[in-house]
Chain A
């Protein structure tokens, strides 16, 4: 796969409106993620021959694309975050870390959590939706601020399942 191919792929993924595409070939793995954010973020780490810095500007307006390209070279060190599970918002709404402002937060970074543990509330159209964890593990990062709007599929937590 050459640079032109990647460029075409990014444009294609943006047009389809899907949020994430992963392609794996013998010597190359590409993940393209699109977000409804105003700025473009490109992260790429890969050995030559593919030129990471020459990634093209996306043509679709108001869609940011992040591309991470990882070479599956022998013993690619693999970023630490790859083993984490991202808990995403199942809906558009407001993100709350506790049931009421005077209550402690449901989870903090470093907390060990079990499957079924309540992580947060997403309030949408006067429905209060408690989001339970699908996995057992440890909270590594909280990715959204309390009492702020969140989009569909927006990452909320990183969980280390190991």
Chain B
């Protein structure tokens, strides 16, 4: 890995913390109190408040993993296209892992999977005023060197568990910052088709006939598309096409 930070702005301001509640919260608080340049990154060796969705705990061994938040200001993005941020971040992480020889995929909407196991989680918090996106705080929790996870975490995996190598978390950060900036600049240059195509190509279970579950039923279907607003488009075995928002549908 080339550990040199070669970005224009991503990670140029870097705040490294030994421990914090969550890096997203820290960065959000910081923005309230001072002018923070775009691309600012906050990392922590350890987070006391596991930052998962709806209180899902995310256990991380101190220093073993990459826990970071990055600030972007996608004020060029119309609110109906806000889901592109999610696509760009997920693609950057996927690109980074692929470059390390790890066959990562994006599990809709933006978890990163290797085979059937989760290697990285993403939590994005935006601020909107009217039709303007003011800022986007993107939290990333990537399992790097951790090999033992507490029971109860469904299907974790780390980079080390896949390749057997021990990584420098700082080097991972520098290389990931480059990928994040590259994908972010693609949306900034309105290169939406590029992002959309790469996102679809990278989707976990894209076009595979697999079992899904809603509150009402279980069925076999293929993922055939993801709409601009992020909805998952499934084609069922009988040919009917249905769209789902997050939490309406579960992968089995």
| Co-complex (A, B) | yes
Enumerate chain A interface residues (CB-CB to B < 8 A). 90-92, 100, 116, 118, 124-134
A-B contact count (CB 8 A): 65
CA distance A115 to B85 in the complex (A): 25
Chain B interface, DSSP helix/strand/loop, else mixed: mixed
A132, B126: Cβ atoms closer than 8 Å:
no
Question: B230 near A90 (CB under 8 angstroms)?
Answer: no
Chain B residues within 8 Å of chain A by Cβ, number: 26
Residue of B nearest to A134 (CB): B130
Interface string of B112-128 (1 = CB under 8 A from A): 00000000001111111
B245 close to A131 (CB less than 8 A):
no
B51 CB to closest chain A CB (Å) equals 11
A126 CA to B123 CA in the complex, in Å?
7
B126→A91 contact, CB < 8 A:
no
- Contact pick for B109, options A92, A126, A132, A134, CB 8 Å: A126
Contact in complex: B131, A126 (CB < 8 Å): no
* Inter-chain contact B125/A128, CB cutoff 8 Å: yes
Contact B131 A92 (CB under 8 A): no
Given contacts A91-B82, A92-B229, A92-B245, contact A125 B109 (CB under 8 A): yes
Q: Which residues of B contact A132 (CB under 8 A)?
A: 127-129, 134
Least CB distance, A91 to chain B, in whole angstroms: 6
Q: Does B79 contact A (CB under 8 A)?
A: yes
Q: Is the CB of B109 within 8 A of A129?
A: no
Give the residue name and chain of the A residue nearest to B80 (CB).
A91
In the complex, what distance in Å separates the CA atom of A126 from the CA atom of B56?
13
Q: Is there contact, CB below 8 Å, between A100 and B55?
A: yes
| Pick from A91, A126, A128, A133: contact of B229, CB under 8 Å | A91
10 pairs of residues in contact across A and B, judged by CB atoms under 8 Å: A90-B79, A91-B80, A116-B129, A124-B229, A124-B246, A125-B109, A127-B85, A129-B126, A129-B128, A132-B129
